[in-house]
Every structure is written in C-alpha cells, then in structure tokens.
Structure 1
Amino acid sequence: MGILALLAAALLVAAAVRAYRVFSYLAIGLLVGSIGVASIERNRSELSVAPYNGLVVGWAAVFVAGFTGIWLLWSPSVTSYSYVLGLPTPTLVYVVCIWLLPILGAFYYAFVFPEIGDDDVVDDIMDDAREAQRDRNLPLAPRVGTDGGEDE
C-alpha cells in the first residue's frame, strides 16, 4: 500500500509539471499495482501475487507496450496518419493494447479459474482468513469471551 501511495503522489507531481508521458507510465504502475495489492491482502507471504502472477505481468507488459506505441506514433503536430483497419495507427494501438488485450486477459482468467465460485474454494479462503486473524488484536473485530459470547 505504501508503494501505491508513492505512485499516487508521483502521479500528482507528474500532472502538476505536465509530464504526461511519465504520468501515463506511473498510471500503469498504479493500475496494475492495485490488482497485485488486492491479491497480496489474502496471501501469507507479503509480496506474492499468486494466482494472479500471469495477469499482473501480462497487463503490465501490454500496458507498457501500448503506451510506448502510442507515445512513439502520436504527436500533436502530426496532421496525417497512416491507417490500419480504418483507424489511425496510434488509435489502433490504443484500442488493442489498452482495451482489447486487457479485457481478453480478464476473460482468460475467468475461464482458467471457474472453480472460484465453488463452495470448497470459498471455504478454504475463509479458513485461511480465520487462521490469519487468529491471535491478532484487530481493531474492528468483536471480542469473543471464554463462554463464546461477545465481551463488552
């Protein structure tokens, strides 16, 4: 979470100084980092993003390739573009790398992990969460007394 906070602060600085190329690459880090952090919260090891390793690496690679393609092919001073499939080349790179491939990656993982909704998987996740919280003083957790009821 600290890394995401630093990325957000860097995004604000990049926007303030109008460094839009830097801003776009920092935005990739914030976007993909948010996905990674969501998976870290439930794992025992702090920097493991399993089972989303492929998704996080794939999205990062596709976004970096997409933004690099856009920044190399687009310029405000250009008035004439080459067209592919009826779209200007930078627009095609944008559509494919920033929209199409990430959506296909999400569909891929939806089909690779269809058993997530299975009761056994949900029970395993809940058991892991309870085990991780056992013997911790969590601020919003109800205090359970020795008789099984909540303490006041």
Structure 2
Amino acid sequence: MGHKNDHTKMPRMLLERPDAKPSMFINDISRLFMHRVRRECERCGISHGHHKLLMELFQNEGATQLQLVQRTHLTAPTVSVALGKMESEGLVRREADTEDMRQVKVYLTEKGREKVDQVRSIFRGADADMVKGIPQEELDAMMATMRKILKNLLEEEDK
C-alpha cells in the first residue's frame, strides 16, 4: 500500500536536480495540479472525468457525444458511460437534434450548472494556490515565457 503523498515524491526530487529541464517541471506541475482538481472534485461528488465533460458542455452547450469525445480526448465508451451516469444524476439531459434526428445533443441541467460552478471554483483555488507568494512581475514574465514555449511546440506540430 502506497503512502498518501507518493504522487509528490518525484516532483520533490525534481526540486533538487541541477539537470532538470523545463519539460520535467511542466509535466510534474500539470500532474500535481490535475491530481488536486480530481481530489477536490471527488470531495464535491463529481466523479473522475465528469469535470471535463461538465466544463466542455459549459463552453459548448448542445454538443454531440462525438464532439465531446473529440474535445475532451476521452474515449467514446468513457463518454457514453459518463453521460449515462451524469444523466441519471440529473446533471445533463440529452435531446434529439431537431434538424438531424440521428444526432443527440447534450445539455446541462440546472444541477449540472451548479456542479460547473463548483468545478470552476476548484480550478480557481488550485490556480491561486499554485502562484501564491509569486510577485505579479514574475508571473507576467513566466506567462510570457509559457506562451513562447507553447508557440514553439505548436509550430513544430504544424511542420
């Protein structure tokens, strides 16, 4: 049986590595951030993976199941099972598309919108904790650097 904070062992070791690369920090920061989000969501009764679907539906109300698969990068069976569970919990409703009856669109319910508010609050809290104690000018410089890194990676993908 692992220790409660086994997921922090490698990131803690990374802090001491003189040969650490930006990618190593980005990877560990992302994993720790998402671990926290998952843990906090589960405490609020939001199952693993459901937060992705809730946030995607918040951004794109009336998305089809296929669009949800494509946008969340979850598998089709995972989305199908999750939507069934979310529908039974009263978080979403599915309706046939009036223009194309073969398509089923997914919408948030009022209860689903309340869960979205909880998820957004969890993300805001995790974001705030992640940058606490860092002066704004350092954050601005870091964000400029992160944008450059993302731009570089996107340019490589486009080649």
Note whether the superposition's TM-score is higher than 0.5: no
Higher radius of gyration, 1 or 2:
1
Higher relative contact order (CA 8 A, sep 6+): 2
- Give me the TM-score of the superposition, normalised by structure 2: 0.29
